[in-house]
């Protein structure tokens, strides 16, 4: 399965309009400036549309960082 991190980093760079933003599997809302609750809605919506997936209620609350999020996206893509 391809590594989604580069794509996810690109999405983060576009959404936060910061071409030098570096995202790792450990990144989370406290390490990325501007990642507040409003930006979070934008991120989730954009990712859902981009990968044509839906996060179920409660799924997102359990994620600790970008790595967890990528794993969840992979899981959903694999079961499509």
Residues that bind another protein (CB under 8 A): 11, 14-17, 38, 41-42, 45-46, 49-50, 54, 56-57, 60
Q: How far is the CB of 19 from another protein (least distance, A)?
A: 9
CB of 52 to another protein, least distance (A): 9
Nearest to residue 30, comparing CAs of 60, 67, 6, 64? 64
Q: What is the DSSP letter of 55?
A: P
Cβ 54 to another protein, closest distance in Å?
8
CA nearest neighbour of 9 among 72, 76, 79, 67: 67
């Amino acid at each position: 399965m391809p590594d989604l991190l580069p794509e996810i980093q690109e999405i983060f760079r576009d959404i936060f309009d910061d071409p030098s933003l570096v995202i790792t599997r450990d990144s989370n809302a406290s390490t990325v400036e501007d990642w507040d609750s409003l930006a979070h809605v934008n991120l989730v919506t954009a990712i859902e549309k981009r990968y044509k997936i839906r996060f179920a209620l409660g799924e997102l609350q359990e994620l600790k960082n970008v790595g967890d999020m990528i794993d969840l996206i992979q899981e959903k893509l694999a079961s499509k």
